[in-house]
């Protein structure tokens, strides 16, 4: 979080608390995860490719983490490859599917993360004869299954469907089972960007036929700069990065051993307490929805907020259009609350949120994304609501910031 605060912060009348509600952007590293990682930065610093004891110790940590990921997905360890990020995993899937599997058409959506959108666009612009189609979405960002089916029926070559499991800005979730069924029926490859849901929901790739999925440790209380890709054995890729034989030749480069060990531990911890954490976070989200609806006029929520249709850790709030909501994120930050936000693009010059634009959100309204973690408390939500109330109410605006 940015610690350089504007001068006005000193005269804020809030009893300043530090509240982190930007957990879709990144999460803090769990203490158990840090403990698991540290020895691989100090005494067990070997290179996993070395055959001596130091190397073997490091290699064992990498393989232990691979087993954890494979167990979590109900996949084989030979289908799990570590990467440097979720971005890299998604790039790898889209680019290798075209290069190695003869994919001639990509069906995706306009609310995907930029690493998916831009990878698909780069391919579409590269004269490889690959078409990119975007499936229709409703106002909540839900995929129109009829439209997806009609795109799949008109299949003119090998197709890759790439649709995210949960949107990072608005939380709307995809029914993986239904999409997998359609892809199986029309013999398309299915990739899901699961970066926001790994560690938060159970997965079983034996039950749900997904060819590729991606994960990123820093989204589930692990370290930054390490992710993984699941690649079903039926859809084999050639090396993505050339060089050494790491990751069974798929991704050359000396492994980030402490990061991979941290990823494995983070997934283990997340799996152990998944239900408990889910209930806790879901309750906080519901509490915030109830308080906001009661306390602030003209507010509404973006995306699907139902239990089954949304990611419980994300709440996207649309504020009534006025100058106070324009400055809301800054005011929250000055009061110690970290959240993120945006708005739909209102003019060609302003770079808005492509997600809000794609679901036709009103560009005059500011949107704030609150995203929760297992560490948040009701007290923090109360404090955040009190800041919002002070800033929103015209009469209390002055008392919120005194110069
Ligand atoms: N996909 C989604 C849905 C994300 O939210 C993010 C990160 O914000 C990524 C991919 C990229 O992950 P990473 O930060 O590991 O590159």
List, in order, residues 6 or more apart from 350 with CB less than 8 Å away: none
Cβ–Cβ < 8 Å for 168, 196:
yes
Cβ–Cβ < 8 Å for 371, 23:
yes
List, in order, residues 6 or more apart from 347 with CB less than 8 Å away: none
Is residue 348's pLDDT more than 50?
Answer: no
Is residue 160's pLDDT more than 50?
Answer: yes
Task: Please report where in the chains the tokens 């404090």 appear, as a residue.
Answer: 383
pLDDT recorded at residue 341: 87
Q: How far is the CA of 113 from the centre of ligand 1 (A)?
A: 7
Higher pLDDT, residue 391 or 25: 25
Mean pLDDT, rounded, for 397-401: 34
Q: Quote the Cα angle for 271-273-276, to 5°.
A: 135
Ligand 1 neighbour 83 (Cβ under 6 A)? no
Q: How far is the CA of 86 from the centre of ligand 1 (A)?
A: 5
pLDDT, one tens digit per residue, over 75-122 is 999 999 999 999 999 999 999 999 999 999 999 999 999 999 999 999
pLDDT, one tens digit per residue, over 190-227 is 999 999 999 999 999 999 999 999 999 999 999 999 99
- Percentage of the chain beyond pLDDT 90 is 85
Higher pLDDT, residue 352 or 315: 315
Mean pLDDT, rounded, for 56-81: 98
Ligand 1 neighbour 85 (Cβ under 6 A)? yes
> Does the active-site annotation cover 345?
yes
Q: Quote the Cα angle for 8-14-17, to 5°.
A: 105
- Residue 26 alpha carbon, nearest atom of ligand 1: 8
The pairs formed by 347-350 with CB atoms below 8 angstroms and a separation of 24 or more are none
| Residue 80 half-sphere exposure toward CB, CA atoms < 13 A | 24
Give the closest residue to 81 by CA, choosing from 346, 260, 316. 260
Please give the order of strands across the beta sheet that includes 131-134: 80-83, 227-231, 212-216, 189-193, 159-162, 105-108, 131-134
Task: Please report where in the chains the tokens 């499991």 appear, as a residue.
Answer: 165
- Residue with the nearest Cα to atom 12 of ligand 1? 86
Mean pLDDT of all residues belonging to the chain: 92
Give the closest residue to 376 by CA, choosing from 14, 19, 26. 19
Is residue 380's pLDDT more than 90?
Answer: yes
d(CA 69, CA 80) in angstroms, rounded, equals 7
Structure-block tokens of residue 230? 């699941």
Q: How far is the CA of 216 from the centre of ligand 1 (A)?
A: 7
pLDDT, one tens digit per residue, over 248-299 is 999 999 999 999 999 999 999 999 999 999 999 999 999 999 999 999 888 9
Q: How far is the CA of 263 from the centre of ligand 1 (A)?
A: 15
- Residue 166 alpha carbon, nearest atom of ligand 1: 3
Mean pLDDT, rounded, for 149-176: 95
């Amino acid at each position: 979080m940015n610690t350089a605060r504007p001068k006005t912060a000193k005269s804020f009348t809030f009893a300043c608390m530090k509240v982190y509600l930007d957990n879709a952007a990144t999460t803090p590293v769990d203490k158990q995860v840090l403990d698991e990682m540290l020895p691989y930065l100090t005494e067990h610093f070997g290179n996993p490719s070395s055959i001596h004891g130091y190397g073997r110790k490091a290699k064992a940590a990498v393989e232990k983490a691979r087993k954890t990921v494979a167990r979590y997905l109900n996949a084989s360890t030979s289908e799990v490859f570590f990467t440097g990020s979720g971005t890299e995993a998604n790039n790898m899937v889209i680019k290798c599917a075209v290069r190695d599997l003869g994919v001639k058409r990509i069906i995706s959506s306009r609310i995907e993360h930029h690493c998916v959108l831009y990878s698909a666009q780069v391919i579409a612009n590269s004269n490889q004869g690959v078409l990119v189609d975007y499936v229709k979405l409703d106002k909540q960002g839900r995929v129109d299954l009829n439209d997806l089916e009609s795109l799949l029926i008109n299949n003119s070559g090998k197709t890759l469907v790439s649709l995210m499991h949960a949107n990072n800005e608005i939380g709307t979730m995809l029914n993986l089972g239904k999409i997998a069924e359609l892809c199986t029926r029309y013999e398309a490859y299915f990739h899901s960007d699961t970066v926001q849901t790994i560690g938060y929901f159970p997965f079983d790739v034996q039950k749900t036929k997904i060819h590729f999925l991606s994960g990123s440790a820093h989204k589930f209380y692990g370290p930054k700069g390490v992710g993984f890709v699941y690649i079903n054995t039926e859809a084999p890729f050639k090396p993505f990065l050339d060089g050494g034989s790491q990751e069974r030749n798929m991704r050359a480069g000396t492994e980030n051993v402490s990061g991979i060990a941290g990823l494995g531990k983070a997934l283990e911890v997340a799996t152990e307490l998944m239900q408990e954490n889910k209930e806790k976070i879901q309750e906080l989200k519901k509490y915030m929805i109830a308080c906001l609806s009661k306390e602030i006029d003209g507010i509404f929520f973006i995306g699907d907020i139902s239990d089954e249709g949304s990611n419980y850790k994300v709440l996207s709030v649309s504020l009534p259009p006025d100058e106070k909501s324009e400055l809301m994120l800054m005011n929250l930050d000055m009061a110690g609350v970290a959240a993120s936000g945006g708005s739909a693009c209102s003019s060609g010059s302003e770079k808005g949120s492509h997600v809000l634009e794609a679901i036709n959100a009103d560009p005059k309204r500011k949107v704030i994304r609150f995203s929760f973690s297992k560490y948040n408390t009701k007290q923090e939500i109360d404090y955040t609501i009190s800041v919002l109330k002070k800033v929103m109410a015209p009469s209390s605006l002055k008392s919120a910031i005194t110069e």
